[in-house]
Structure 1
Amino acid sequence: MSRPQRLTDRKRESILTAALQEFLSQGFDGTSMDRIAASAEVSKRTVYNHFPSKDELFEAILRQLWECATAEEGLPYEPRRPLREQLGELLRRKMRLMQDRGFMDLARVAIAEGVRRPDRARELIERLEEGQGEEALTAWIRAAAADGKLKPLDVDLAEQQLHALVKGAAFWPQLALGAPPLSAKQQAQVVEGAVEMFLRCYAKKP
């Protein structure tokens, strides 16, 4: 049985939720700690007890986004299992995350602030990356290449290409253009197409 959430933790979550919605509707500059406190139904002092500044609130939201993006359970490379099956499963996990509304809201706030203050965004990303292990998809590609199943390749570039194939249909149109989420059939088509293109380019002939 999970332990009941403490009051202070519930208040912190309420503040983060309120801040996210305020940043989405008002932008970073248009959002005040007063508005966040009112939206979260807590005192301004409570907000400052958890987050001494608006910058720290943004950093906490960026950390949420980072944790969502890196929290998927790694899928270890399996030498005896077909590459197509393994890669398809990895990309379906990515697809579920990118179609999640909460993740999309976090991404909108983070990207908007990153455009406004790119140096600050890079600094935060570098700090979040410290001590993190290799991303699951990158690790899988590296292992498949080491096993001799893939042609010689730049692992980081190949991972970026795969992400581009999926995000080009299932993330950026929804984020930037307000396109509707993909149906289950469309999601499957995007994943299958990305897997096919990747393997045609990089998989060695059996």
Structure 2
Amino acid sequence: MFENFSPMMLALFGTSLWETIVMVGISGGIGGLIGIPLGVFLRLTDQGGVLAHRPANALVGALVNAVRSTPFIILLVAIIPFTRLVTGTSIGTWAAIVPMTLAAAPFIARLVETALREVDNGLIEAAQSMGASTWQIVWKVLLPEALPGIVAGLTISFVSLTGYSAMAGAVGGGGLGDLGIRYGYQRFLPDVMLAVVLILIVFVQAIQSFGDWAVRRLSHR
């Protein structure tokens, strides 16, 4: 077993792992920058929110749900023209980041909205009674109180993006998924496929462990 692991194959594993890290890191980071404000907006405009506005909440919520309900592999193919417009190509690591980011943002938004719902309304009402603005309520009450839940949600998102990155390999997206498909499946090298799976398991475990540690630290501030 593992007799196919030549220096060239090991180099491919290193390159593929780095591509996976880049895809997950960048798409998760940009998805968070989009998804967190989106989740805050959904919470503020929800019924009973500080800026309750049912039509705006329903419209944005519908768009978020529409993207979330689209299977990633379909989204990946459906937005190829947009991906090509943004990156100049429809294959490779950078091309995979576009659909991964679009898939991550609404997912993160809903997780952030859920975390913000857990904040005690009494804290918000107390801040309002002291004359706090909406901006102050968001930055000094909602986000600090919901931070452990938001970090837990981001951890889940990064784990999901790891699966998306492997799926992107099916259409030449690069990363460990691409390596597993091209060598493990198409060239009938089961040891390569097994190694890819093991690396992905360790990668996901590392993300989850770090996220759990961060949540514990934030919960005991």
Q: What TM-score comes out, normalization by structure 2 length?
A: 0.28
Q: What TM-score comes out, normalization by structure 1 length?
A: 0.30
More relative contact order, 1 or 2 (CA 8 Å, 6+ apart): 2
Higher helix fraction: Structure 1 or Structure 2?
2
